[in-house]
């Protein structure tokens, strides 16, 4: 009950100058918590979307680039995924390097997510790059070190994830979590490469969900060096009880003495669709109670997430995943966006109210 009350008061007080605790004119007035947060957006689809000539509109209903819209809104960090040798330019080192340079020129910090794969890596799949498929474990381990060092040297990120949603390990089968020592060895090789190349880069270890005590206890017992616990949180796949998320933020950061961040989160503004690609979030059962799939519901959800990160003593921020992934391939595309109802732009490509979450 105490935690729920504290969360509620934090949400009400966030962004106000002062808040009286009672109607008594002599009551003590408590200032809201002030904290500099990482307010990030993962816009890894943007280079491809730009290539189609898609137009976005800012809060003034003027055509504008997504990076400029995010900057105006108060976003301060751009999160980018990197694939080893993808089949197209998307998320390649060349594309990410060019895009990261542009983002830096606009004043953003760079948060790099190393998938250690040629395509998506997540809890269900961690496929090794084709170039490493036949390598012995010794060669694989060295490849992780050399590759990580190379990309850090080229991209010079402010924050870097060693793996993406590595609940089950990375670089399967050798680096599967069941092969604990091999997994830890590969993870440490990535970490060491960052420490040797850019000592001031903050290293994140990323887990999808809130049931993560067992995972980070392994890292603790194996003396893995990292700086930030990074969690994904989506109500459909994780808990639908927000207080469980809050408890995880507190318990994980205390048990491991680490800063903690939500590396991925998002919420729908509608359960409708714009193209013929099936949406990942599209049913009422995917939602939280009291947070409808409306523009205001999306905004309220994100403000609550932000409030939690402010209230958590070691909470340092959040990243909104794919705010730009609209239905950019046309209304009849079956290979378009599975996320257009989760974007921060409506079906007419206009900024939604939830963009305000980046504002201080």
Are 26 and 63 in contact by the 8 Å Cβ rule? The answer is no
Residue where the block lists tokens 């340079």: 101
Are 342 and 301 in contact by the 8 Å Cβ rule? The answer is no
Distance CA 187, CA 141 (A): 9
| Residue 138 in tokens | 């010794």
Is 264 marked active-site? yes
Is 174 marked active-site? no
Are 78 and 111 in contact by the 8 Å Cβ rule? The answer is yes
Are 290 and 342 in contact by the 8 Å Cβ rule? The answer is no
Q: 121: burial class by Cβ within 10 Å (0-12, 13-18, 19+)?
A: buried
- B/e letters for 324-343, b = 16+ CB within 10 Å, e = fewer, are bbbbbbeeeeeebbbbbbbb
Per annotation, catalytic residue among 48, 95, 165, 340: 165
What string of H, E and C letters represents the secondary structure of 110-168? EEEEECCCCCCCECCECECCHHHCCCCHHHHHHHHHHHHHHHHHHHCCCEEEECCCCCC
To which H or E segment does residue 29 belong?
A: strand 29-30
Per annotation, catalytic residue among 264, 311, 324, 340: 264
**255 vs 37, 72, 233, 246, 251, CA distance in Å?**
22, 37, 20, 14, 6
Are 269 and 247 in contact by the 8 Å Cβ rule? The answer is no
Catalytic positions are 165, 264
């Amino acid at each position: 009950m105490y935690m729920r009350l504290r969360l509620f008061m934090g949400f009400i007080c966030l962004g106000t100058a002062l808040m009286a605790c009672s109607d008594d004119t002599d009551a003590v007035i408590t200032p809201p918590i002030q904290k500099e947060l990482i307010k990030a957006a993962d816009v890894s689809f943007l280079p491809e979307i730009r290539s189609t000539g898609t137009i976005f509109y800012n809060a003034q209903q003027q055509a504008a680039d997504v990076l400029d819209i995010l900057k105006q809104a108060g976003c301060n960090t751009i999160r980018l995924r990197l694939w080893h040798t993808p089949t197209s330019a998307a998320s390649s080192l060349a594309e990410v390097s060019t895009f990261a340079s542009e983002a830096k020129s606009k004043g953003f910090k760079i948060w790099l997510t190393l998938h250690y794969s040629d395509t998506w890596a997540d809890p269900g799949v961690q496929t090794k790059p084709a170039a490493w498929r036949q390598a012995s474990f010794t060669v694989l381990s060295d490849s992780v070190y050399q590759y990580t060092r190379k990309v850090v040297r080229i991209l010079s990120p402010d924050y870097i994830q060693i793996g993406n949603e590595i609940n089950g390990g990375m670089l399967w089968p050798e680096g599967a979590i069941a092969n604990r020592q091999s997994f830890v060895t590969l993870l440490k090789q990535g970490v060491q490469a960052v420490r040797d190349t850019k000592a001031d880069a903050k290293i994140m270890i990323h887990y999808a969900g809130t049931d993560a005590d067992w995972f980070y206890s392994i890292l603790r017992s194996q003396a893995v060096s990292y700086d930030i616990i990074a969690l994904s949180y989506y109500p459909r796949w994780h808990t639908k009880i927000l207080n469980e998320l809050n408890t995880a933020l507190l318990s994980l950061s205390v048990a491991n003495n680490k800063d903690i961040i939500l590396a991925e989160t998002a919420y729908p503004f509608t359960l409708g669709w714009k193209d013929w690609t099936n949406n990942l979030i599209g049913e009422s059962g995917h939602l939280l109670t009291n947070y409808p799939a409306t523009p205001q519901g999306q905004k309220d959800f994100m403000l609550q997430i932000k409030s939690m990160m402010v209230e958590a003593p070691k909470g340092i921020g959040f990243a909104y995943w794919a705010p730009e992934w609209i239905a950019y391939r046309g209304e009849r595309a079956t290979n378009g966006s599975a996320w257009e109802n989760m974007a921060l732009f409506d079906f007419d490509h206009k900024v939604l109210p939830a963009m305000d979450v980046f504002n201080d």
